[in-house]
Amino acid sequence: MKRLRYVFFLVWIICLVAGRGSISYADDADEPHIAAQSAILIEASTGRVIWEKQADDRHYPASMTKIMTALLGLDIISPHTEIFISPEAAATEDCPLGIRAGDCLTAEELLTGMMMVSDNGAAVAVAEQIDGSTAEFARRMNEKAQELGMEHTHFSNPNGLTDPNHYSTARDMARLAKYAMENPSFRRMVSQRERVIRWTLPRNGHLLVLNTNKLLGSYGGTTGIKTGWTSAAGGCLAASARRNGVELIAVLMQTSGPEERFTDAEKMLSYGFSHVRMVRGMAKEKISRRVWVKGGTQASTWLHPVSDIDYPLIHGEDPGKYSLRYDIPRVMTAPIRKGEVAGRILICYEGQPVGSVDMTADSVSQGFSIASWLVQLFEGLLVRL
């Protein structure tokens, strides 16, 4: 009898374990099965990770690199600045715009064409316009990457042509894509399915271009952003879409064929939309934090979030378990540019950071004021408060 009970007990344990295993497999089956070697899916406003696959593995980013090039171009060059195409830019491998040495386009036209059809020569022309050479521009790219917290990224050129010292990860590229899509000019640029690009020289030069991002017009709600492909990198894609108040960004790297990146992105985005909903938090107008300023014409400035604080809930989560923490400096040094990122709001679930929203500062000119001098004098005390 005892043996019989023991046998029944073992059978019960085995069935229980098997039952749990079947539930786990069902959950796994719900996840997107993709061909890309590395991928990540995030909620766009907070950067919260919804799903990932080997997201910290290093790969060539190919033309997703141009996201950084476009951001720096938009930040530094006036959209009406005329950019002349150098012989070096014109001779760059793969220039679907057909630019030639001596051609001239405004920065807006050149950047838009670069992003829509992934023109490598256009990226060289932008780099030369800003820093005189691609090598100097790459230094600027890497400085910006460090500022954004892209810890496993190094850029060697502005276009993503293969170089052993030019690499990134899906997680880092998602961080870059999130930041880029907060720029209204960038967002408009990458959301266009087709556009006529116009030359300044030769006069009346123009070309109708179609965006290489095939999700635009085929996957509902697609908002951007950038494709990439080389034989070494395989297929790469950063793709964003918005549905029912939720915007997601999918980044994937190293597919064996160029079409797989689009089917992979569709699977990832659809998975995210079926599992994520946004809960209204606080309007950005209702949030501000004051920080002290030394070396300025005034002794303090205000930080404001770049967007409303909404909470992405992954299926089954409790909105009451969200909280906010402020990661901001006590003291800043003038000059401070208006819109300069100076801190962030950490969005936490059950006390653990799951996303963030940048905070930007109001401007303060460099100069002297008694109050700002006192801030510098008592900085050590203020930092400890």
Q: Which residues of 143-160 are buried (b: 16+ CB within 10 A; e: fewer)?
A: ebbeebebeebbbbbbbb
- Which residue matches tokens 């950063």? 238
Q: Which of 45, 53, 66, 294 is catalytic?
A: 66
363 in active site? no
The token duo for 19 is 């039952």
Alpha carbons 376 and 332: distance in angstroms, whole number? 10
66 in active site? yes
Largest CA distance in the chain: 98
Q: Which residues of 282-306 are buried (b: 16+ CB within 10 A; e: fewer)?
A: eebeebebebbbbbbebbbbebbbb
Amino acid identity of residue 205, one-letter, is: G
Closest CA relative to residue 269, chosen from 234, 236, 242, 237:
242
Alpha carbons 91 and 99: distance in angstroms, whole number? 9
Identify whether the C-beta of residue 239 lies closer than 8 Å to the C-beta of residue 265: yes
Alpha carbons 101 and 284: distance in angstroms, whole number? 47
Spatial strand order of the sheet with 289-294 comes to 322-327, 341-349, 352-361, 300-305, 289-294, 331-333
Closest CA relative to residue 64, chosen from 253, 231, 210:
253
φ/ψ (deg, to 5) at 277: -135, 155
Q: How many CA atoms lie within 13 A of 160 on its CB side?
A: 33
Q: Which of 38, 45, 118, 240 is catalytic?
A: 118
The token duo for 181 is 């899509």
Q: Which of 63, 156, 240, 372 is catalytic?
A: 63
Alpha carbons 275 and 264: distance in angstroms, whole number? 17
Residues identified as active-site: 63, 66, 118
